[in-house]
Structure 1
Amino acid sequence: MSEIRSADHHTASATPFGAIEGTHWIETLNDGSPVLIRPLRPEDRQRETAFIKRLSEQACRFRFLGKLKEASPALLDQLMDVDQRSRMAFVALAHDNGELRMVGVSRYGASGDEKQCECAVTVADDWRQRGLAVLLMRRLIDIARKNGFHTMFSIDAAENEPMRELAGYLGFQRRLDPDDGTQVIHTLDL
């Protein structure tokens, strides 16, 4: 039985910090598509690699603020390094031609004084405009609050219209990056 079909909605589990109240959630997107959302696991490394390879050039530029042809082993190590407290990631998985494919990911990493965290969200090009980024970010915002962060922020390309819309919808404030006029900083008080 596949992971997405066998998942129970809001399954309870214990974590080192007790912050995650479930191990996975089945969510229905705006178009009726089901997705499994759960914390990133070490065994997701291959899915993460395939996810990044499938992203369009623009999606990679928006996510990594530059060109990226392929994720290096060092970048993958960084992306896979989560501890469910200071570094957290949620993945969205969906069935695609008989395989469970990563179609979205949201993540944060503690920044500076452990009261702030920097976040990012990426959705596969063919899964956009369905509400997935909102679901992934709401999970991320909730766990960041539970883990004691006071502020969440992201640094984005000023031309990234989808992120501007998402950030505005979720209540983030937007300002120009004082160090780089091609970027903006979205900030949310938690």
Structure 2
Amino acid sequence: MNEISDSSRPSGPPHAQTLRDGRVVRIRDIAPSDRSAERAFIEGLSDESRRHRFLAQLKSPDDKLLDSLVNIDARREAALVAVVSYEGTERIVGAARFSMASPDAVDGECAVVVADDWQDQGLGTALVRDLAERARARGLRRMYSMDLAGNADMRELASHLGFRARVDPGDASLIIHELVL
């Protein structure tokens, strides 16, 4: 049995996820209306978390990056956010996505990031599991992520979920985590 499977969780429509510490998030598809929440989420990440997610240092996403994150091409991409209600609005506390080179591709690059104060509670695991279900439903056979070699949190998460790791042959500072779906 594939380690990433968990048939007890719903997939597809928005659903609640209880974390290890008892907090509850709602996992749903990202939408264009999430633009300002996505900006706030990225800006609220620590420098290290932003560097691990984007493989570069950035303080704030520019308009082009925000557009690419919230305007999903459903033929090639899927993106999920974990949200909580905060002062009458939804606050994004985690995000995961995959992107395929073309609609008929059999593999896709994935990424996940969790707000620093929500890490180590199982949220990254829940997001990647949901994302893998979406990828399988689309016919993908493999998901992979490109991560900095020093990203111990991603190394631990990927190992926990059954991804295999290898050094990027073109850049030894990067690790490729691969999951056969």
- TM-score, normalised with respect to structure 1: 0.86
Preserved CA contact (<8 Å) 1:108 1:120: yes
Distance 1:23 1:43 in 2: 17
SS in 2 for 1:139: helix
SS in 2 for 1:71: coil
What is the aligned counterpart of 1:156 among 144, 147, 168?
A: 147
Q: How does 1:47-58 map to 2 (within 5 A)?
A: 47-58=37-48
User: What value does the CA root-mean-square deviation take over the aligned residues?
Assistant: 1.6
CA apart distance, 1:72: 0.5
* Structure having greater relative contact order (Cα 8 Å, sep ≥ 6): 2
Structure 1 runs, 4 residues or longer, greater than 4 Å off: none
Q: How does 1:81-96 map to 2 (within 5 A)?
A: 81-96=71-86
Q: How does 1:159-174 map to 2 (within 5 A)?
A: 159-174=150-165
List gaps (5 residues or longer) in structure 2.
Answer: 1-8
Deviates more, 1:109-118 or 1:45-54: 109-118
CA apart distance, 1:83: 3.2
Residues 139-186 of structure 1 show CA distances to partners (whole Å, capped at 9, x for unaligned) of 000000000001100000000000000000110000001111111000
What is the aligned counterpart of 1:131 among 122, 139, 163?
A: 122
What is the aligned counterpart of 1:59 among 46, 49, 57?
A: 49
CA apart distance, 1:77: 1.1
Paired letter, 1:125? D
CA apart distance, 1:69: 1.4
CA apart distance, 1:22: 4.0
Deviates more, 1:76-85 or 1:29-38: 76-85
Q: How does 1:22-37 map to 2 (within 5 A)?
A: 22-37=12-27
SS in 2 for 1:111: coil
Q: Which residue of 2 aligns with 1:43?
A: 33
Preserved CA contact (<8 Å) 1:115 1:150: yes
- TM-score, normalised with respect to structure 2: 0.90
Q: What's the % identity of the aligned pairs?
A: 44
